[in-house]
Amino acid sequence: MTDSMMKEAHDFETFDRNSDFRAMKFISRCMENTRIPFLVATCLGTVAMITTMVMCILHSRALDRRPICMLRSYYHGMLVFPMVWAICCWFALFCPLVAPLSELFMGQSEAYAIYIFLVIMYMLVSIEACKTKLEQSDPGQTSLRSEMENMGQTIMDAVHDYGPQKYFAVPPFGCCFKPCCWEHQITAKQLLWVSRLVKQYVILELFLNTFFMWAGLTFQPERAARIQNVAAYILKISGMMAVYGLFIMYKATHDLLHDWNTTRKFVSVKIVILLSVIQNKLFSWFIHTFRPRENSCLLTPGHPEELERIVVFWTTFASLMETVLLSHLIIRAFPAHEVADFPLKNLDLVELELRQIHERSLPSGLDSESSEDDEESK
Residues 173-232 have pLDDT tens digits of 777 777 777 888 889 999 899 899 999 998 888 888 777 777 777 877 778 778 777 877
> What pLDDT does residue 148 have?
59
CATH architecture of the domain 31-361 equals Up-down Bundle (1.20)
Least confident segment among 23-37, 88-102, 170-184, 285-299: 285-299
The rounded distance, in Å, linking the Cα atoms of 182 and 364 is 27
Q: Which residue has the higher pLDDT, 216 or 167?
A: 167
Least confident segment among 56-65, 295-304, 305-314: 295-304
> What pLDDT does residue 376 have?
44
> What pLDDT does residue 54 have?
97
Q: Residue 369: is its pLDDT beyond 50?
A: no
> What pLDDT does residue 83 have?
96
> What pLDDT does residue 88 have?
94
The rounded distance, in Å, linking the Cα atoms of 240 and 173 is 8
> What pLDDT does residue 326 have?
93
Cα three-residue angle 73-77-82, rounded to 5 degrees: 150
How many beta carbons lie within 10 A of that of residue 261, not counting itself? 16
pTM, entire model: 0.82
Q: Residue 127: is its pLDDT beyond 80?
A: yes
- Exposed / middle / buried, residue 326 (Cβ in 10 Å: 0-12, 13-18, 19+): buried
Least confident segment among 41-50, 129-138, 224-233: 129-138
Confidence class for position 13, pLDDT limits 50, 70, 90: very low
Q: Which residue has the higher pLDDT, 25 or 51?
A: 51
> What pLDDT does residue 125 have?
87
pLDDT tens by residue, 73-114? 999 999 999 999 999 999 999 988 888 888 889 988 988 999
Task: Of 359, 282, 362, give the one whose Cα is nearest residue 318.
Answer: 282
> What pLDDT does residue 368 have?
42
The rounded distance, in Å, linking the Cα atoms of 188 and 156 is 7
Alpha-helical segments (H) within the chain = 3-15, 23-33, 35-64, 70-78, 80-94, 99-136, 144-149, 151-160, 188-218, 221-253, 262-289, 308-333, 347-361, 364-377
Q: What percent of the chain has pLDDT over 70?
A: 83
Q: What percent of the chain has pLDDT over 90?
A: 23
> What pLDDT does residue 275 have?
80
Q: Is the dihedral of CA 276, 281, 284, 290 positive or negative?
A: negative
Decide: 238 and 200 in contact? Cβ < 8 Å: yes
> What pLDDT does residue 15 have?
46
| Mean of all residue pLDDT scores within the chain | 81
Conformational region of residue 163, where left means phi above 0, alpha means psi within -120 to 50, and beta covers everything else: left
> What pLDDT does residue 149 have?
60
Q: Residue 142: is its pLDDT beyond 60?
A: no
Q: Where are the domains of the chain?
A: 31-361
Q: Residue 337: is its pLDDT beyond 90?
A: yes
